[in-house]
Amino acid sequence: MSVSMVLPMLADMYTGYSDWQVFFVCIIITAFFGGSLVLSNAGKDFTISVRQAFLLTVLSWLSLAIFAAFPFCFSELEMSYTDAFFEAMSGITTTGSTVIVGLDSAPPGILLWRAILQWLGGIGIIVMALSVLPFLKVGGMQLFRTESSESEKALPRAAQLASSIGILYLGLTVMCAAAYMFTGLGTFDAVAHAMTTIATGGFSTFDSSFANYDRAWTELVAIVFMILGSLPFVLYLKAVRGNLKPLLNDSQVRWFISIVALAIIITVSYLVLQADTPFLEALRRATFNVVSIITGTGYSNGDYSLWGGFAVSLFFFLMVVGGCAGSTTCGIKIFRFQVLYAISSVQVKKLLHPHGVFIPHYNGSPIPKDVPISVMSFFFLYALCFSVLAIALSYVGLDFLEAMSGAVTSISNVGPGLGEIGPGGTFKHLPDSAKWILSAGMLLGRLELFTVLVLLSPHFWKH
């Protein structure tokens, strides 16, 4: 984190903003704390227990957000620590909700820092989804244990896997930035947007997000790379090695593409039939915003809450969907819907044939015994956490639309909500209490609920 602050410092130095001093101080503070932790534990041989793994995961993300907030706090934007922490948490969890008004005139260091946070968060979550979560059996992630980690001799070690994924991630970012530049963006904006596109983060360098450009080709680049950021990265590794089949035949990828296509068709039909929008205009608006919302990116090219009640309701539900497991996206994720669907179908069949034996399948194989309960518990806790967040937000004064959409956008790490906190507004005007509640929601959602909820169970602390 300390090293990653060097880039924004250089950006501010190069452009003559005094904020480079802020980054300089933050580099030293972060390096001091981080260095102390490294040094004080160096050379020791660790065996980490399951409980320690949970605690370590949560504390890592929490301390990253705590330190990442400092540059916001001390920069010339003069944000309160609450605002700074909110912005940092929103960045590192690739959410994309912002409390900053006036991005267009903000120092480049801060803009770059926001992009870097999301970029780091994106790669962090992919590596975590491949290495830590399957072993912790969080919310059905054990489904990906054998597939990606144990039986594959081509990718033997977690560290090697992480570095391969890292190179790929960097490669995609460079490609995305190049494509943005090709459509006319300046280098700085292209790089900043590429970082938050591939991470499905959604921070922009403009208050008006993509409406600032209003250029179809730029939006097309964003659409392509948001989708690329939502597919399982481990399948890209195989594709790069010449084996395209796993990527093309993966049922999660197919479901994802189908759901996106269906949502676009419905939205276009509404825009054309009910709101008298010309077809091409409707197609462009619908595609960009549906992809942005369902992948949890949160870019906008105009305020979709002005399209009428239907778009608001549809987008509310699309927010929870998310992309594929092992990608940078958040939300409930496609594979869980596949498992839930498979189990529910089997349930219906069982009602009709009480003595029949039906086995739910995922991606062509029977679903392992402990996965259904794991996935369904995740779904229940998702609904429960959403309810608690929404009730808490309304208790501190948000109206129904803000409370509902704020809860869903934080736990699903999307970015904008609806109403005042929608794509046309920011989270700045919310009371501090609401910002802390939303920050908690972001962390909860990003760490797949269980990782955090485990720490809240009395059982965790008992022995």
Q: Which residues bind to its own copies, rule: CB under 8 A? A: 50-51, 54, 136-138, 270, 309-310, 312-314, 316-317, 340, 343-345, 347-354, 372-374, 376-377, 379-381, 383, 387, 390-391, 393-395, 397-404, 418, 450, 453-454, 457, 459-460
Residues present in the chain in total:
463
Helix 187-198 to helix 216-228 angle (10° resolution) is: 40
Amino acid identity for residue 265 in this structure: I
Block residue for tokens 């369904």: 376
Toward its own copies, which CB reaches closer, 137 or 215? 137
Question: ∠ at Cα 270 (265, 276), nearest 5°?
Answer: 125
Closest distance between its own copies and the C-beta of residue 155, in Å?
A: 23
CB-based contact 312:305 (threshold 8 Å): yes
Closest distance between its own copies and the C-beta of residue 287, in Å?
A: 19
**Whole-number Cα distances in Å, 260 to 214, 253, 255, 292, 349:** 22, 11, 9, 10, 28
Closest distance between its own copies and the C-beta of residue 431, in Å?
A: 12
DSSP helix/strand/coil, 417: coil
Toward its own copies, which CB reaches closer, 84 or 408? 408
Toward its own copies, which CB reaches closer, 167 or 348? 348
Closest distance between its own copies and the C-beta of residue 250, in Å?
A: 23
Element (H, E) at 346: helix 334-352
Toward its own copies, which CB reaches closer, 121 or 322? 322
CB-based contact 169:89 (threshold 8 Å): no
Say how far apart CA 193 and CA 190 lie, in whole Å: 5
Closest distance between its own copies and the C-beta of residue 315, in Å?
A: 10
Closest distance between its own copies and the C-beta of residue 223, in Å?
A: 23
Toward its own copies, which CB reaches closer, 235 or 434? 434
Closest distance between its own copies and the C-beta of residue 261, in Å?
A: 16
Closest distance between its own copies and the C-beta of residue 93, in Å?
A: 21
Each as own residue / partner, the long-range contacts of residues 268-277 (CB below 8 Å, 24 or more positions apart, any chain) are: 270/307, 270/308, 270/310, 270/311, 270/314, 271/307, 274/308, 274/310, 275/307, 275/308
> What are the two backbone dihedrals, phi and then psi, of residue 361, each rounded to the nearest 5 degrees?
-115, 150
How many other β-carbons are positioned within 10 Å of the β-carbon of residue 361?
Answer: 15
Toward its own copies, which CB reaches closer, 115 or 319? 319
Toward its own copies, which CB reaches closer, 99 or 340? 340
CA atoms within 13 A on the CB side of 348: 5
Toward its own copies, which CB reaches closer, 293 or 340? 340
